[in-house]
Amino acid sequence: MYNLSQKELLSEGVMDKIKSVGKSIGKGVGAVGGALKAASDAGIEAGIGDVVGGARAGYDKADDLLTSKKEKLLKTLDDQGVMIFPGTDIRGKKKLAVVNVVQYDYTEQGNKEPMQGAKQELAKYKFKDGSWEKVSGSREIKDGYSLLTKEEVKEVQEPDQKGPLTGKIIKHQTTKGKPAYGKVVGYTYEGEVAVQPFKGSRAPGIYGKKEDQVEESSAEEASKFYNVKIKEGTSQANLLRQLTLLSK
């Protein structure tokens, strides 16, 4: 079968037909090149319907390229049956997104809402080849604490994951407005501080907090609050050794 070149297709007046299709579906002609190629590949016997189909596919592809990363992420979440937990935002940088998600249901008005009894999770997504992919090991939210996964515990042990608060005692407010103390053992890739709780804390494990949510404290203050003896200046080597034991 003889295939038409794009130049021959233009001379056949196909361009005008594709442009008219573009107007009818309310889109530009940025995908005309793809439509012409589709028609050329289909051969001289192809009808205008085949060309129109190619045009529509091309326009849809062009639309997909113009869709923002955030909109693509929201669509990915929707396809997975989850929504962003109310009151939280998308965090991350460049091609990494961190979101608190929860399974959703619909109200009688057709609006999304968290499914009754569903628990929120902290999930990671990476942007690759034009789409978002979920990274395994979603972080659990328990008693208001965002627990680090085993993979994240390993991350904060890496030399380049240290920061200004690493090794220091910090305090912050819990969701119930009470103070909590811990020691920063490193930073996650999302820029959160990884906090190792002291004995007596309600935190069920190593957890992450935004750096602007914590403030530097002291062993004396933490010791009085938990009524246990807390040493200041534990070596980084000991902290990493404890982390390794906890992650097994």
Mean pLDDT rounded to a whole number for the chain: 77
Q: Do 148 and 234 share a domain, yes or no?
A: yes
CATH of the domain at 184: 2.30.30
Q: Do 156 and 221 share a domain, yes or no?
A: yes
Q: Do 96 and 164 share a domain, yes or no?
A: no
pLDDT tens digits for 77-92?
999 999 999 999 888 7
What are the Cα distances from residue 235, in Å, to 98, 109, 168, 240? 31, 57, 10, 9
Q: What pLDDT was estimated at residue 60?
A: 53
Last residue of a domain, one of 82, 112, 141: 141
Q: What pLDDT was estimated at residue 7?
A: 47
Residue 39 lies in a domain: yes
Q: What pLDDT was estimated at residue 31?
A: 45
Distance CA 199, CA 227 (A): 9
Q: Do 124 and 158 share a domain, yes or no?
A: no
pLDDT tens digits for 17-42?
545 544 444 444 444 444 445 555 54
Residue 1 lies in a domain: no
Q: Do 76 and 62 share a domain, yes or no?
A: no
Residue 103 lies in a domain: yes
Q: Do 176 and 192 share a domain, yes or no?
A: yes
Q: Do 88 and 133 share a domain, yes or no?
A: yes
Q: Do 229 and 195 share a domain, yes or no?
A: yes
Beta carbons of 214 and 172 less than 8 angstroms apart: yes
Q: What pLDDT was estimated at residue 118?
A: 92
Residue 195 lies in a domain: yes
Residue 61 lies in a domain: yes
Range of the domain at 134: 69-141
Q: Do 22 and 73 share a domain, yes or no?
A: no
For residue 235, name the pLDDT band (cuts at 50, 70, 90).
Answer: very low
Residue 148 lies in a domain: yes
DSSP string, 129-191: TTEEEEEEEEEEEETTEEEPPHHHHHHTTSGGG--TTTT-EEEEE-TTS-EEEEEEEEE-TTS
List CB contacts of 62: < 8 A, sequence separation 6 or more: 27, 28, 30, 31
Q: Do 156 and 190 share a domain, yes or no?
A: yes
Between 231 and 85, name the one with better pLDDT. 85
- 58, pLDDT greater than 90: no
Distance CA 90, CA 84 (A): 8
Domain total in the chain? 3
Q: Do 154 and 171 share a domain, yes or no?
A: yes
Q: Do 238 and 151 share a domain, yes or no?
A: yes
